[in-house]
Amino acid sequence: MHPAWLQLGAGPFYDLVPFHSPRSPLHLDYHGNAADIAGSVIFRNLRLYLTLIGEGRIALLPSGAMTSESLDLLLTTMDWPDFDTEMTRHLRRPLDQETICPLDFLMALAIAARLIQIDGGRLAVTEAGRRLRENLIDASTVRAVFEAAFARVNPRTLTKLAHPWVHEQAGIVFWCLSITADLPRSVPQLTRYCFVPPEKFLDEPLNVLEVYMRAVYLTPLSWFGLLKSMPAVEATRVQDPLYQKTPLFDRFMQFDIERAQPVERPN
């Protein structure tokens, strides 16, 4: 398996970091796809979250994290594909926000996208949050949420093993997915194709890059409706899911990049 990022020339490779910089060859069509992305899992969960905050049903601890009762409510009302919500419901009480990654991510995302703010120890919905809650979602709202998810929210909310530098590869990962995820692929395959391994991880016995790939990229992209996951069954053993692009991925992400290697180079 040849890493897809080897097909990037030096210029595009570095210009994709960060993915949303003015010089980036990645063009995200927010205007043409706002309605489709607004119908995704992540926006449905954000609308529900903002509604519950507006009803005064989400409370905070003195630490600023959500209370166990609030987390319980969110677990029973929200849908998080590719996350074992049922197992999480059986965790010992009181629940800890940091151990429930989608909910830790959700709160951080709402803050980073300026949909909520903490005022006097309580969550308050901003004007931008009220518009999203009322489903008045335009391209600027989609941009704020997407850029926050892949550039501003600490990826440790998605896996405690991550470090902030994991997001530095977002543009490279997006481009590699654009040319490799046309077919269902496993997490190890997509990690090999898309992630540029830092030297210090080359000899790690645990392939932590696969953890990063699934938790920080594949699962959130599926929540935005840009990837779909499906179970992989080999003989009688159920494996991790396979991931594939949805048609929305290629409508939303457009790259002004010429591949450095022949198209026929195997991936």
The per-residue pLDDT for range 253-266, each reduced to its tens digit, is 999 998 765 444 44
pLDDT digits (tens, 9 = 90+) for 26-67: 999 999 999 999 999 999 999 999 999 999 999 999 999 999
209-253: per-residue pLDDT in tens?
999 999 999 999 999 999 999 987 664 444 679 999 999 999 999
Q: Could you tell me which of 167, 116, 126, 130 has the C-alpha nearest to residue 146? A: 167
pLDDT at 237: 44
DSSP secondary structure string, 176-225? HHHHHTTS-B-HHHHHHHH----GGGTT-SS-HHHHHIIIIIIHHHHHTT
pLDDT at 233: 66
Domain boundaries along the sequence of the chain: 4-28+157-255, 36-156
pTM of the model: 0.92
CATH 1.10.3470 fits 4-28+157-255, yes or no: no
